[in-house]
Amino acid sequence: MKSNAYKELGLKDEEYQRILTILKREPTPTELAMFSVEWSEHCGYPRSRKYLKMFPQKGKYEALVGEDAGGFVYDDMAIIFKMESHNHPSQVEPKQGAATGVGGIIRDIFTTGARPIALFDSLRFGELNNAFNKYIFNGVIDGIQFYGNCVGVPTVGGEIYFDDSYAGNCLVNVMCIGVCEREKIARARAGGIGNPIIYAGSKTGRDGIGGCSILASSEFEAGELEKRPTVQVGDPFTEKCLIEATLESLKTGVVVGIKDMGAAGLTCSSSEMAAAGEVGVEIDLDKVPVREEGMEPWEIMMSESQERMLICTSKGDEDNILKIFHKWGLEAVVIGYVIAEPKVLIRSQGKLICDAPTEELAKAPIYDMPFKKSKIPNPKFKYAGSKNHNKTLLELLSDPNIASKKSVYEQYDHMVQTNTVVYPGGDAAVLRLRGKKWGLAATTDCNGRYCFLDPYVGAQIAVAEASRNLVVTGAEPAAVTDCLNFGNPEKPDRFYQFKQCVEGIADACRFFQLPVVSGNVSFYNESPKGAIYPTPTIGMVGIIKDIERRATVPFKADGDLIILLGANQEDDGLPKIDLDLESRVQKACLEAIKIGIVKSAHDLAEGGLAVALAEASILGNKGGVVHLAEKISAASLLFGETQSRILLTIDPDNIFSLSDLAMLLKVPCAIIGKVTGQRLTVYNRKKKLLDQPVKQLSKQYFQAIPNLLAGK
């Protein structure tokens, strides 16, 4: 390697000096490559780790924290889930970037011993009136459907937003959920001196080399397409075999530890398993299966080729594990052993090419980053809509941030495994677990614009809205994963956004008694156009204790009463939330669903009351007449995005039960109308504000994104 190779690998001068101090000599090319990937922001979190310790790790249920994926325990079952980003790879090579993002997060789940049962995608793109943004959008969707559909894990939910801030740097955040019995959870650690280390899965190639240090840990500049070689290539059919072989291997009881070769590949899996077990490992690279000739040792150690695992098994039992992987048509070979000395020793062609202390290699240095409050131009909200509220509603339903994403999710197989009982398109997906009365609800949420205007409050709203989306299905929120997407942390205003969002999430999760069990930080999300909106995406999973008492969005029957929980307020466009009120509104909704009096439930979010009413009408193919008596502006009343509001419908016979519940919890609760006919009509103080046929609302809602993609 060249004398300045460490800079090309993303290391700074002071980091290189630190490596010299640790090794007490010049590093070999392989050691230099290994330190560069392990100390990168994508792997080692040197700029964010200090703040991640703020997240609560205890909640209503037993939390499982500390491995590659976390979760919680309910009814002796471990619910394992995690969200990760694949932003830069997807901007550079949309299909393979998104596909390998799906594959990577699935591996994080099944290496814990949990069978993956559902996928969610939280996506952000530039606006669709731009041809290149359309190319990125179509490629990402193609990659998600290609990998997810082939591997046999249903994609059941997520979200899509479009904004110019994401035009040069899309966001592809993927969450996966898996389940297993509590006592069968696997660990990502090596142990037992002399125990063999097994490489299993696909062969190693040059794809993905430097993906975490070169591509994921720097911002985009002109010529970003030159980074295509650092994007991995995925094979979902191999991954399906890898899922089955891994889960079968874990059932043998002889696997000591197991880890996915994700970011940083063999470097990450070997050094971090050793560090977690407080042992060392010795590996012979000549035994690693490779698919390209002439690969240098540093290339093998940095490669991020997909569908690969590293396994530590008890001595004498390795042949049993090898046979299982061979049966599934996969590579499997012993490449090393656990050693007592806490070092990572790598040999190639009989030479020792890496002799690095495990702890120092696996644990990146922690930096105190300077921060400075962001300057926000013109934060005050001015209503820009037409005085014709019918026109404004139709425009909002046609806005791709609100319009139906059916044209996207209908490309995904959301019914494979036949566990999905509430399909994509609602507030949250609902999944059954065979043989159980209870089920799961899950969602992903974040409004980046709120976080731009006020990072602390915007992040709290992301937590509250995710929780609200679960509650309206009848689920009790249980735990959180996150995917923290921000710009360059070396710029003080960007780091301020990160710091404030982390504090907001931590405080909100602590208030709602929700542990943060796993997550991911993605920095450097900016291009020559500027930084993305701060986007701390929240993934949340909850328990529906009786799957038969779940609630959905659509209006159900003529004559049902339309109820508003929470209060309408004048909206100045600045994000605000009262967590205490939010908690009480959610509790009232959840209790009403549990006792069986709710026929439909929908949270109010983007577009406010008018859009929530329209969505319930569209999805139920039923209209409604609403009579309000509010002394606020029509714009705020119809389209204001005041938090802590939920729309319910109930049978008229149940109004006293709901009113008593709301009164007990001190929650504003008002009958605002009834379900009827095929038009949505809204009055305030006897003045008609809206009057639209459901058919017209549906046309705008469902055709908006297909029309944009078609250039109409």
In sequence order, what DSSP letters do the residues of 189-252 get, joined into one string?
Answer: ---STT-EEEEEESPB-STTTTIIIIITTS---TTGGGGGGGS----HHHHHHHHHHHHHHHHT
For 574-599, the three-class secondary structure string (H helix, E strand, C coil) is: CCCCCHHHHHHHHHHHHHHHHCCCEE
Tally of CB atoms within 10 A around 136: 25
* Positions of CATH 3.90.650.10 in the chain: 29-54+186-364, 369-401+551-712
Q: What is the CA radius of gyration of the chain?
A: 26
What residues have CB less than 8 Å from 382, skipping those under 6 apart? 573
Q: How far apart are CA 563 and CA 568, in angstroms?
A: 13
Tell me if 520 is assigned to a ligand binding site. yes
Residue 304 labeled ligand binder: yes
**What are 464's two structure tokens?**
């509250």
Percent of the chain with pLDDT over 70: 95
Report whether 108 belongs to an annotated binding site: yes
Is pLDDT of 248 > 90? Answer: yes
CB atoms within 10 A of CB 193: 12
86 as an active site residue: the answer is: yes
**Two tokens at 6?**
């460490």
Q: Which two tokens stand for residue 562?
A: 């339309």
* pLDDT digits 0-9 by tens, 319-328: 999 999 999 9
Average pLDDT in the 469-488 region? 97
How many CB atoms within 10 Å of residue 351?
9
Residue 228's pLDDT band (cuts 50, 70, 90): very low
Q: Which CATH class is domain 369-401+551-712?
A: alpha beta
Instruction: Answer yes or no: is 38 a known binding residue.
Output: no
Check pLDDT > 90 for residue 573: no
Q: What is the CATH number of domain 29-54+186-364?
A: 3.90.650.10
Q: Do 285 and 265 form a contact (C-beta atoms < 8 A)?
A: no
Q: How far apart are alpha carbons 11 and 192 in whole angstroms?
A: 34
Q: Is 232 annotated as a binding residue?
A: yes
- 313: pLDDT strictly greater than 80: yes
For the ranges 414-423, 453-462, 561-570, which has the lowest average pLDDT?
414-423
Residue 316: per-residue pLDDT: 95
Residue 389: active-site member: no
Task: Judge whether 454 is annotated as a binding position.
Answer: no
Q: What is the pTM of this model?
A: 0.94
Mean pLDDT of 365-379: 82
d(CA 161, CA 167): 11
Q: pLDDT, tens digit, for every residue of 337-356?
A: 999 999 999 999 999 999 99
Q: Which of 185, 201, 230 is nearest to 73 (CA)?
A: 185
Q: How many residues does the chain have?
A: 712
**Ligand-binding site membership of 686 (annotated):** no
The pair of structure tokens assigned to 18 is 């630190």
pLDDT at 445: 97
Share of the chain above pLDDT 90, in %: 85
Query: Was 368 annotated as part of a binding site?
Result: no
Six-digit token string for 225: 């397409």
Average pLDDT, the chain: 92
Dig out the tokens for 534 from the structure.
């701060």
C-alpha dihedral, 295 to 296 to 302 to 308, nearest 10°: 40
| Predicted confidence (pLDDT) at residue 649 exceeds the cutoff of 60 | yes
Say whether pLDDT at 380 is over 60: no
Residue 297: count other Cβ atoms within 10 Å of its Cβ: 22
pLDDT for 154 equals 92
CB 694 within 8 Å of CB 617: yes
Give the pLDDT confidence score for residue 606 in this predicted structure.
Answer: 94
Range in 135-149, 378-392, 523-537 the model is least confident about: 378-392
Q: Which two tokens stand for residue 309?
A: 């695992």
**Coil, helix or strand for 255?**
strand
Answer whether CATH 1.10.1200.10 is correct for domain 59-185+404-549. no
Is 88 marked within a binding site? yes
pLDDT for the residue numbered 47 = 94
> Is 571 annotated to bind ligand?
no
Residue 213 pLDDT > 50: no
- In this structure, what DSSP letter does residue 654 have? G
Overall average pLDDT of the 211-219 stretch: 52
Confidence bin at 103 (pLDDT 50/70/90): very high
Asked if 27 contacts 35 with a C-beta cutoff of 8 angstroms, the reply is: yes
Order the strands of the 155-162 sheet from edge to edge.
63-64, 70-74, 77-85, 171-181, 115-125, 155-162
pLDDT per position as a tens digit, 109-153: 999 999 999 999 999 999 999 999 999 999 999 999 999 999 999
Active site residue: 86, 389, 414, 602, which one? 86
In whole angstroms, give the CA distance from residue 136 to residue 155: 19
586 is in an annotated binding site: no
292 labeled binding residue: no
